[in-house]
Amino acid sequence: MADLDVQPKKNNSWWLWILLLLIALALLFFFLRGCNNKNVNQAATDSTAANVDTKTKVLAATTPADQPDFNSPKASYDEIKDTSIDVRGNNNYTIYGLGEDILFDKDQSTLKSSAEGRLKMIAASLNKRFKGATLSVYGHTDSTGTATHNKQLGAQRAEAVRIWLVKSENLPDRSIVVYSLGEISPVASNATEKGRQQNRSVSIVATPAKTSGNQ
């Protein structure tokens, strides 16, 4: 009987395992990519929501190009009898300043009830001297904490004063613009507690409309 030359059958299944591995890697890639897109879209949505929320509270939370000099010479008006109201200015504008300790509790943006008397005095002066003027409310903070937090706190405090002037004194809403300077425009050194206290304030700036003869 002739010998049969029988060779063992070769195993060619290795390519199947490689194919399965490639499919698994492809599925993992698309899964991770989908999760990343979801996170990016959510972050963009959150950022947009934060911007919208800020804009609903503050008309302008940026630094104006024609920012007044908050260390302008002191001024004196007969109707401003409270020495805690800092009045300054020049021929172009008048600044009424009130310290944080008068208006708000520490790190808060809700007006104290005790602040209303001073705000009423300022409103009376505005109505007496600056009918039709453009009003700007500036929020100032010291440099304690992050710049982002200070900008937001300054915005919220300035907006609280604006709302009070509109609702309590019937000043025209359209004539009042709100700015938050945060910590970027100090009037004193932030290295001392006294200086930091001076830097925490809200300023109401009245800019009279220019007549044709003064343009």
Angle at 126 between CA 124 and CA 127, to 5 degrees: 65
Helix locations, 58-139, DSSP H? 100-103, 116-129
29 membership: H or E segment, kind and range: helix 14-57
Q: How far apart are CA 153 and CA 105, in angstroms?
A: 12
Helix locations, 130-190, DSSP H? 147-169
* Domain extent listing, the chain: 17-50, 86-214
CATH number belonging to the domain at 86-214, selected among 3.30.1330.60, 3.20.20.140, 3.40.630.10, 3.40.50.2300: 3.30.1330.60
pLDDT of residue 62: 53
**Token match 């915005």: residue?**
155
pLDDT of residue 102: 94
Q: What is the pLDDT along the chain (215 residues), one digit of tens a residue?
A: 455 454 555 556 667 777 777 887 777 777 666 655 444 444 333 333 333 344 434 544 455 667 899 999 999 999 999 999 999 999 999 999 999 999 999 889 999 999 999 999 999 999 999 998 999 999 999 999 899 999 999 999 999 999 999 999 999 888 899 999 999 888 899 899 999 999 999 999 999 977 444 44
pLDDT of residue 103: 96
Indicate yes or no: pTM above 0.75. Answer: no
pLDDT of residue 8: 53
List strands edge to edge, sheet with 201-207. Answer: 86-89, 94-99, 201-207, 134-140, 176-182
